[in-house]
Amino acid sequence: MSDTTTTSLLDAITVPAAEGRAIPDAATGETMGHAPVHDVEHLNRAVAAARAAQPAWAALGHAERSAILHRTADEIDAHAEELARIIAQEQGKPLNGPGARFEAGGCAAWIRNAADTALDPEVVFEAPGTRSELHYGPLGVVGAIGPWNWPAMIAIWQIAPALRMGNTVVSKPSEYTPLSVLAVAELMNRHLPEGVLTVVSGGRDVGEGIAAHPDIDKVMFTGSTKTGRAIVKSSAGNLARLTLEMGGNDPGIILPGTDVKAIAENLFWGVFINTGQTCAALKRLYVHDSQYEEVVRTLADMAASMPMGPGLDESSVLGPLSTKQQFDIVSSLVEDARSRGARIVTGGEAAPELGPHFYRATVVADIDDGARLVDEEQFGPAIPVIRYTDVDDAVARANASDQGLGASVWGSDVAEAVAVAQRIEAGTVWINQHGTLNPDVPFGGVKGSGYGMEFGREGLKAVSAPKVITV
């Protein structure tokens, strides 16, 4: 264990350049540190250690495990600024607003929620002379595979409930953002028993190894649908339980008569949180013809005025795309829209004066279904705004995607909005907001966005082995 009194958090998790892989600052491209390079052999050792540590961890009981988790949350709070700066550099999100400090604070909040959520035995049947109870115990070893967009917080969404229920965890972060997850684990492991939580900082071979490993009982994955399908195939041999959150092309529908000024701020952040790099961000917006231009202009004005810059700049509100790959995807989708005659109201171009992966916040109008920017998940700061005249048609178009993570309905008549929400095929439908998550409220997708629930009681059940005891 590192000397926590003299060593910075970044120094505690990085390795010498000769032994590791350079991790760039997302805004500048300059090396911020070196991550260890782990392979399948490291994974096998981690799983063996997790398997050995699991019985004793489970035997501590819920109260003691929860107390330890609270201490890990306190540790994260004590180093929240250091953690936030690592996230801001590595992933690119600004420190302020719904950014890196928000993510660091969210890690501690989600740990405490998992520690405090009750999951008592349920009486499912009772009659004279007999009673059946549903109990929940640990599964064993959980393999957690995380993404690069909210690396620390999504890792905690996987780790915290698994540990709370008595499982041990082997976590594999994205190759693009390993330092954020290594930092969270470093802080937590100052209080956890050895072997209970291990981060394996490897590549695709490690992810494939987790999915197929005979000693892993549960796989939790957040990432692309393509990779999720591969995990399903790989897990067939060991029959590991799965929770898959595979992103989405989230639609929003603005109903006629909506007070646009009242929803403007929530609408903007529903689209542009983390510079659009959020699974449950609003990705395509359907607006009634009667208010189309007002919505387009409102969004465009806000997008053009939001300060964009490096994550460590205190004045930044929007940051860069995390990787060149994602920058190229966003650029390609916007150029395709332009070639189809769509109207680029604001943005639509790189901002090279800010750094290599900056793309200006973009609002695209006069575009329709069939354009790549509408049909494909852009995962960046570019929103297509699609005109409609009939609500039934808007619902049908919203449901046409093979993904179904989140959706939103916007309107001044909440009852009408809820009625429309009932018809949308998505795991979560928000009213007059989009992408807001609550650790007490279950979250998960349908269709190509995956299956299984996270958060709250349902999230604890997802990392548990149910057992019926009939007396």
DSSP letters for 418-430: HHHHTTS-SSEEE
Distance CA 404, CA 181 (A): 27
Whole-Å CA distances, 408 to 7, 385, 403: 45, 14, 14
Tokens of 204: 């695709």
- Non-local (6+) Cβ contacts of 265 within 8 A are none
Q: Is 280 within 8 Å of 236 (Cβ atoms)?
A: no
Amino acid at 74: D
Handedness of CA 196, 450, 90, 110 (dihedral sign): negative
CB 20 within 8 A of CB 14: yes
pTM: 0.96
**Please, what sign has the CA dihedral across residues 339, 345, 351, 356?**
negative
Residues labelled catalytic: 245, 279
Taking the C-alpha atoms of residue 308 and residue 90, their distance in angstroms, rounded to an integer, is 16
Let me know: does 161 contact 167? Beta carbons within 8 Å.
no
Decide: helix, strand or coil at residue 40: helix
Q: Assign a CATH topology to domain 250-431.
A: Aldehyde Dehydrogenase; Chain A, domain 2 (3.40.309)
Q: Is 207 helix (H, G, I), strand (E, B) or coil?
A: helix
Q: What is the sign of the dihedral through the CA atoms of 355, 360, 361 and 366?
A: negative
- Which amino acid would we find at residue 364? V
pLDDT at 3: 46
**Segments making up each domain of the chain, as ranges:** 9-246+449-470, 250-431
Q: Where are the alpha helices (DSSP H) in 193-323?
A: 204-212, 225-234, 260-272, 292-305
pLDDT at 247: 85
Tokens of 46: 């981690």
Q: Nearest-CA neighbor of 143 among 43, 58, 29?
A: 43
pLDDT of residue 1: 40
Closest among 267, 460, 290, 317 to 390, alpha carbons compared: 290
CB burial of 228-254 (b: ≥16 within 10 Å; e: otherwise) equals bebbeebbeeeebbbbbbbbbbbbbbb
CA distance 22 to 32: 8
Cα separation, 409 vs 87, in Å, equals 32
Cα separation, 142 vs 131, in Å, equals 32
Contact 380, 330 (CB under 8 A): yes
pLDDT in tens, the chain (471 residues): 444 446 899 999 999 999 999 999 999 999 999 999 999 999 999 999 999 999 999 999 999 999 999 999 999 999 999 999 999 999 999 999 999 999 999 999 999 999 999 999 999 999 999 999 999 999 999 999 999 999 999 999 999 999 999 999 999 999 999 999 999 999 999 999 999 999 999 999 999 999 999 999 999 999 999 999 999 999 998 899 999 999 899 999 999 999 999 999 999 999 999 999 999 999 999 999 999 999 999 999 999 999 999 999 999 999 999 999 999 999 999 999 999 999 999 999 999 999 999 999 999 999 999 999 999 999 999 999 999 999 999 999 999 999 999 999 999 999 999 999 999 999 999 999 999 999 999 999 999 999 999 999 999 999 999 999 999
Rounded to whole angstroms, the Cα distance separating 111 from 113 reads 5
End-to-end CA distance of the chain: 47
- Check if CATH label 3.40.50.10790 holds for domain 9-246+449-470: no
Dihedral sign for Cα 189, 111, 151, 453, please. Answer: positive
* Amino acid 2: pLDDT: 42
pLDDT given for residue 84 in this prediction: 98
Residue reference for tokens 């916040």: 361
Residue 7's pLDDT is 81
